[in-house]
Every structure is written in C-alpha cells, then in structure tokens.
Structure 1
Amino acid sequence: MADYRGDQADGLRRLFGREQTRVVAFTSGRGGVGKTALVANLGAALASQGRRVLIVDENTQHNVAAFFGMRSRHDLLQVLDEEIGLDEALLGVTPGVRVLPAAKAVKQLGHLDARQQDTLIHSLTGMDQPADVILVDASPDHPLGFSPFGLAAHDTVVVISPSGEDITDAYALIKKVSLGYAHRSFRLLVNKARSAEEAVAIHRNMARLSHGRGVARLSLAGYVPADDAMRQAARLRQAIAVVLPGSPSGRACQTLATELQRWPLPDENAGGLEYFVQQLLHLSQHIDPQPIYA
C-alpha cells in the first residue's frame, strides 16, 4: 500500500476542498427498492439548498446517469490508469450535482498499486470544484459483498421498502456487515411508505430485533411517501426538486436533505476526510469476503 504520511497528508486535508465534506453511502439488501432514484433526487435537493454534490456511482445499469437520461462514457478506473483526467470522467447531471461513475473502479480497489492509489488521491484533491457532500450509490452486487465506501463513509443508509422481503433482506445485510466487519451503526430510510407511522413502526421493529440480538444500532433517517410524483419525475428524467418540489415525495426529499446536513460528523481527528480516504484504501486492500457470506 502507499504511504499516507507526509506530503500526502497535506493533500488529503484538502480533499474536495473542505475538512467538513460529508460522505454518506446508500445501500440496500436487494435491488428494486428505489435506492438510485432516491440518491439522484436527494443530490438535487441538496443542490437546491446550495450544496455542491458529488455522487460516486458503483452501478453499471440503472445508474444515476441513466436516471437523468445520460450515459456514462468513462469510469474512475480509467482515471486511476491515467488514461483520462478526472474532469473527463465527471458528469454534470443537473445544476450543482456531478456524478463520478465508478462501477469498474470499485471492483479493483483492493488491487490498486501504489501509483494508482496516488493517482486516486491527487485526482480527487485537484478537483476544480470541491464537493460539500459526497453521496455513494453502492451496488448491491459488490464482488466483496459490501462496498468499502459503505464501511468508510461517515454514515451508511440502508434503503428499504415496506415489503416483507425487502425488510428481511435489509436486516440480513445489516447482520452480515455488522458481524463481518464490526460495523455497528446504520440509518434506515423507508421508501414508498404509506405513512409516517408505517416508517416509524418498521424502524422500531427492526431496531428492537437488532438491539436484542446485539447486531447493530439502527436509527431512522426518514421516509419518502408512496406517490406518483417520484415516478412522474423519473419519466421526465428530472429530479423531483426541479419538476414537482411541492409534492409529498418532493417535500420529503427536501426534509431528508436538510436533516442529513445536521447528522453529527465524527471528531476531526478520528473521522475527517484524511481518515476517510485512508480507511477506504485500507479496507479495500484488506477486506475479506468470507465473513460477509458466512
């Protein structure tokens, strides 16, 4: 692995331009819960509140770029291989939101040589427009069973729907990650909820089960109600914050964006961006897929 001390530390402190850049990873126990659409809409909601957003997208199909009617031509891996610059890989999908396609790169994070690691650090450090918030749309089909971004991020949000199968799969993922990697804190985001009471009940039941079995601490990130506005915005290839901001799901995305910025960040010495990038590369090099599949 590369040495993260010395001059690199100064670069890492400038990563994305601000020490308080927030990194939030979104994952799910299975596909089809609406995770990618939520990440896309949350990014646009954050941008409408004046935040500069970078979305790291681990998905190949049905990704954030496709949500906005765009196609990813490049991948972060090409940046690490020095085939292109980071600016060529970034996609501006809506004002204030850029997407960094990384489906190929995340599969290779555990095999990066020292030069590629340095390229990753220096490319991100040299971004012309630093991000205030980084959202990671983690793939549920990660070859290691779980994204290193999800382990290294400041917060890991598990997106679920009220479906019994979705809840079961989400709890199974939380249990595996908790037992395999001692990751003990998750936030639940209930999508397509019929009411606030339903979202609260789902969280209460899952949190009680998780606590009783010593698995993890689950907090409720919020919920997005089931309405047609989200689907209508998706058909228009637009964020709901742009086309239907006053709809129930539009207001819910704005509320979530506001609350997300209030979530406590780790202490600077233990959870700053320097620590985040070190953890990301360290976990990628040492992550063991066996425990998570046990």
Structure 2
Amino acid sequence: MVNLRGDQAAGLRRLFSRPRLRIVTFAAGGVGVGKSIAVANLAACLARQGKEVLVVDENTDDSVAAYYGVPVRHDLQQVVHREKSLAEVILSVAPGVRVLPAAKVVKRLASLSAAEQRILVDSLGHIGRPADVVLVDASLDHPLGFSPLGLAAHDTVIVVSPNGAAITDAYALIKKVSLGYSRKNFRILVSKARAASDAQAVYDNIAEVAHSRQLARLDYAGHVPLDESLRQASRLCQPVAGLFPDAPSARAYQSLASALLNWPNGDVDVRGLEHFVQQLLHLSQRLDPTAIYA
C-alpha cells in the first residue's frame, strides 16, 4: 500500500496554515459529464461564502480559467524550470478564486529532480494569501491512469451524468482507484439530472455494485439539475450563481458548497497541505502503474 506520509512539505506550511483547510479532488470516468463546470461554479459559491479558493487545474482543454473567460498562457512547470514566477502563472479569475494551471507539471511529477522539487516547494510557499479550500480539477489522461493528487485530498468526488456510458465509466474509475491505490471512499455528484429521483437512482445503482463487490464506500454529494440557466451562464463565462442566483443549478451549487465545508475530515490533518504536497513530491514517484491498469 502506498504510504502518503513524508517529510518534504515544510516549505508549504505557511500557504495552508488556516484551520479547517479543505482539499477536494473532482474526477470523472469520461468527458462531457460537467466536471470542470462543477468545479468552476463550486469555487464561485465558496468564494461568495467568504472562502479563499485555490483551484489546481490539471486540464489543458476546457480549463476552469477558460470557463471564467481568462486565457491560460503558462503552467506550473515553467515555475519549476525557473522560466516564470508563480505570480505570472497563477490566475485570479474572480474575487476569492485563483486558478493554478498545472497540467504539464502534474504529468511529470515522477521525474522531478530534487532541485526541481525544492523550487516547487519554495515557490508555492510564497504564494501569498492562504487558501481555505483547494479544489483539484483532475485530468482524465494522467499517465498513471488517475491523478495522484486525488489520493491525498480529504475527499474525491466522482462526477457522473445519468446515462449508461457515464455510469459505466464512473464505476470503472472507482474500481481502478480502489484496487490500484486502495482508496476506499468516494463521493458521487450527479450532474445534468432531469429530476432528483433520477440522480438518486444513479447513485444507488453505483453504490450498490461498489458495496456488493467490496470495492469502496460511496456517499451521495448531491446532484446538479439540467438547467438552461447554467448553459447560458457558461456561454457568458460567468458562474451561474452570480447571474441567476435563483436558478435550480445555482441553488444546487450553493447547497453543495455549504455541505462540502462540513464534510468530515477523517484522519487527514486539516491544518496543512502536507499530504497534498507529498503527492506532488513523493507519491507519484512511488506508485506502480501496473496495478492501476490491472
């Protein structure tokens, strides 16, 4: 089993020194389920509740910053290579919401040298305002089959839409991560649901199979209804809660934001980002990709 504990995260303790830090990874088994849209809107709702949000974005296309209409020109990898400063890479996309593009560096964490690791730690340690919540928008095509950053988070939320292919993909992802990484707890967020009952049925279906095969324990994070207001807000590059606060999807994201802040932390230290940073510096170098693809 992978050991998530290590000793090289001291440089980032200042960054995440506030109590009640929350780290949540959002993942999906396939494209088109609304994962990045969910992260972007959830970040906005958390900021509206007075939280400082940092989104670590592993995606090249359909990035969270692009959802806000902000172009992504750089990547955290350029900080590691000393080509850019962190201030040039990190993006303030809305009040209380910053996005850290990390698509390139996340895919080569296993090959970072000791010197590059120190640069990463030192740079992030001087990011400025500490975050209350870190949302990881996980890539679908990580070389290991699943983003290693998700394993150190307090919670991994699997986003699924109510169609057969998406449900199959979500279950396959849970199975891979459970068997390969021994991650046994996930939350399910159903997006694009026509009715609450449809979303509940999707969750019940996946949870029953995961339980019967002793793969994982699943918790229901809720659902985001199919909503024309959300589509319109997305076209305008704005969070739906800002443009249409009474829309069904806006209420759903606001409810999810409030619930997320009260999810139990389990045995994860809430006073620092040590586990998350250890993923960056250690975990990807110690994982065996054979298991995850088995």
Give the TM-score, by structure 1 length. 0.94
SS in 2 for 1:24: strand
- CA deviation vs aligned residue, 1:127-150 (integer Å, no higher than 9, x gap): 211111010110111121100111
- How far 1:266 moved relative to its partner? 3.2
Residue of structure 2 in register with 1:118 after alignment = 118
Alignment of 1:8-47 (within 5 A): 10-47=10-47
- The 1-side partners of 2:135 and 2:212 are apart by 31
Cα 1:159/1:105, change in 2 over 3 Å? same
Residue of structure 2 in register with 1:129 after alignment = 129
Maintained 8 Å contact 2:25/2:135: yes
- The 1-side partners of 2:31 and 2:275 are apart by 30
Structure 1 unaligned regions, length at least 5: none
- The 2-side partners of 1:94 and 1:18 are apart by 21
Maintained 8 Å contact 1:16/1:127: no
- The 2-side partners of 1:270 and 1:93 are apart by 26
Matched letter for residue 213 of structure 1: R
- The 1-side partners of 2:181 and 2:204 are apart by 24
- How far 1:202 moved relative to its partner? 1.4
Alignment of 1:200-215 (within 5 A): 200-215=200-215
Alignment of 1:125-274 (within 5 A): 125-267=125-267, 272-274=272-274
Bigger drift between 63-72 and 206-215 goes to 63-72
- How far 1:288 moved relative to its partner? 2.1
- The 2-side partners of 1:4 and 1:76 are apart by 22
Maintained 8 Å contact 2:18/2:272: no
SS in 1 for 2:56: strand
SS in 2 for 1:100: strand
Cα 1:9/1:136, change in 2 over 3 Å? closer
Bigger drift between 279-288 and 172-181 goes to 279-288
**Structure with greater helix share of residues:** 1
Matched letter for residue 172 of structure 1: A
- The 1-side partners of 2:88 and 2:17 are apart by 19
Give the TM-score, by structure 2 length. 0.94
- The 1-side partners of 2:254 and 2:9 are apart by 35
- The 1-side partners of 2:76 and 2:89 are apart by 6
Bigger drift between 266-275 and 64-73 goes to 266-275
- CA deviation vs aligned residue, 1:141-183 (integer Å, no higher than 9, x gap): 1121100111111110000000111000100010011001111
Aligned residues: 290
Matched letter for residue 189 of structure 2: L
- The 2-side partners of 1:13 and 1:88 are apart by 22
Residue of structure 1 in register with 2:79 after alignment = 79
Residue of structure 2 in register with 1:66 after alignment = 66
- How far 1:203 moved relative to its partner? 1.2
Percent identity (aligned): 59
Structure with the greater relative contact order (CA < 8 A, sep ≥ 6): 1 or 2? 2
Residue 88 in 1 paired to residue 58 in 2? no
- How far 1:9 moved relative to its partner? 5.5
- How far 1:272 moved relative to its partner? 4.6
Maintained 8 Å contact 1:19/1:273: no
- How far 1:38 moved relative to its partner? 0.7
- The 2-side partners of 1:24 and 1:192 are apart by 21
Residue 104 in 1 paired to residue 104 in 2? yes
Alpha carbon RMSD of aligned pairs, Å? 1.8
- The 2-side partners of 1:221 and 1:143 are apart by 28
SS in 1 for 2:108: helix
SS in 2 for 1:74: coil
SS in 2 for 1:16: coil
Maintained 8 Å contact 2:185/2:217: yes
Bigger drift between 119-128 and 212-221 goes to 119-128
